[in-house]
């Protein structure tokens, strides 16, 4: 009886974690698109900078004031040698995501972001000369095929937004690969990651945002009809962006990798559906098929990774980040339990 209650509570906790993660993630995406499209605040650098500031303050409150999470101490030298390069890539990743939202529909952007597993595997193969099991490569075929079909049939296609989303995938993959070497020895969770990286990302982005978008933001202040209500929405999106990071920490500790992978792909489908209901962007049948193929491919990729991760390496095989198993790296450096922080 007691074991049954524990199991039921575990299932309920996992569902609750997934639901709150879905809500924060989809809400942040929809709010960002609403800011660009409905509020006519077409300044992705400024929006990203506001998000970084809110995340910096939120992480400080959680760690230093409320002490919900213990601070992982990083040596001052490592902050510039290790954390700063990661913050730079982190900054580019978030900015490119917001830039893509500025020009293309949420449905198209979310589908392209599903291309990240493929870019990560290819980058590791090209840069580190890692070799992967043939099943990893095979699992990427439906992802690539679905992305191609979605891109060709996208009715609201914009080349600039498409390139921003695609390079955003490369930035996400680069961040994952850099984390393996630069953050070696530090076991960061999502909150400590934001605590260290968000202030540096703000510092990196502040000057470009002022130079590129400063005059446009000032003009928006003087010409927009409902400035204060719009500012509340923009600041709320920053607050929710931090809450998204906190929700990731919660869901990581409440689900398995397989559950997280499936839930992540269902979340994309949920975001596509909600965005279509709100913005009514045209979606053709073949475009929807391409999106579905991509999501199925991502789920299959996660399943293959899980199967390969359960296989023990041959006895005597050295286990270092850059040493493949039997000339075959079975597990790519993609953390199934991390989502893009906005």
C-alpha dist (Å) from residue 33 to 163, 235, 293:
17, 14, 24
Closest-CA residue to 121 (of 130, 112, 113) = 130
In this prediction, residues 325-336 reach a mean pLDDT of: 47
Question: Residue 321 — pLDDT band, cuts 50, 70, 90?
Answer: very low
Q: Residue 328: pLDDT above 60?
A: no
Can you say whether residue 256 is alpha, beta or left, with left for phi > 0 and alpha for psi between -120 and 50 degrees? Answer: beta
In this prediction, residues 322-334 reach a mean pLDDT of: 47
How confident is the model at residue 315, as a pLDDT? 57
Q: Which residue has the higher pLDDT, 2 or 17?
A: 17
As a whole number of angstroms, the distance between CA 146 and CA 117 comes to 13
How confident is the model at residue 324, as a pLDDT? 46
As a whole number of angstroms, the distance between CA 177 and CA 133 comes to 18
How confident is the model at residue 210, as a pLDDT? 95
Percent of the chain with pLDDT over 90: 38
Question: Residue 235 — pLDDT band, cuts 50, 70, 90?
Answer: very high
pLDDT tens readout for residues 184-224: 667 777 788 889 989 999 999 999 999 999 999 999 999 99
In this prediction, residues 107-114 reach a mean pLDDT of: 89
As a whole number of angstroms, the distance between CA 231 and CA 225 comes to 12
Question: Residue 318 — pLDDT band, cuts 50, 70, 90?
Answer: very low
Question: Residue 60 — pLDDT band, cuts 50, 70, 90?
Answer: very high
Q: Residue 319: pLDDT above 60?
A: no
How confident is the model at residue 168, as a pLDDT? 92
């Amino acid at each position: 009886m007691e074991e049954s209650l524990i199991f039921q509570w575990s299932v309920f906790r996992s569902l609750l974690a997934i639901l709150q993660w879905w809500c924060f993630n989809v809400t942040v995406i929809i709010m960002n698109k609403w800011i660009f499209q409905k509020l006519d605040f077409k300044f992705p650098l400024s929006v990203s900078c506001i998000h970084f500031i809110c995340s910096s303050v939120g992480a400080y409150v959680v760690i230093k004031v409320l002490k919900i999470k213990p601070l992982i101490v990083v040596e001052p030298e490592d902050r510039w040698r290790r954390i700063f390069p990661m913050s730079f890539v982190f900054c580019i990743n978030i900015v490119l995501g917001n830039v893509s939202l500025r020009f293309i529909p949420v449905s198209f952007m979310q589908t392209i972001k599903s291309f990240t597993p493929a870019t990560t595997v290819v980058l590791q193969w090209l840069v580190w000369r890692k070799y992967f099991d043939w099943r990893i490569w095979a699992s990427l075929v439906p992802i690539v095929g679905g992305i191609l079909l979605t891109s060709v049939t996208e009715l609201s296609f914009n080349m600039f937004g498409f390139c921003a989303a695609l390079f955003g995938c490369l930035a996400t993959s680069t961040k994952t690969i850099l984390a393996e070497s630069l953050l070696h020895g530090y076991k960061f969770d999502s909150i400590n990651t934001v605590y260290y990286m968000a202030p540096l990302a703000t510092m990196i982005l502040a000057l470009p945002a002022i130079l590129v978008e400063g005059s446009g933001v000032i003009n928006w202040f003087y010409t927009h009809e409902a400035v204060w209500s719009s500012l509340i929405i923009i600041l709320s999106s920053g607050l929710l962006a931090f809450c998204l990071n906190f929700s990731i920490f919660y869901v990581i500790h409440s689900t398995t990798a397989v559950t997280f992978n499936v839930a992540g792909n269902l979340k994309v489908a949920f975001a596509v559906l909600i965005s279509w209901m709100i913005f009514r962007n045209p979606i053709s049948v073949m475009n929807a098929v391409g999106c579905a193929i991509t999501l199925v491919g991502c789920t299959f990729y996660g399943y293959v990774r899980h199967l390969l991760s359960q296989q023990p390496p041959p006895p005597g095989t050295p286990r270092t980040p850059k040493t493949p198993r039997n000339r075959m790296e079975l597990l790519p450096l993609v953390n199934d339990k991390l989502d893009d922080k906005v």
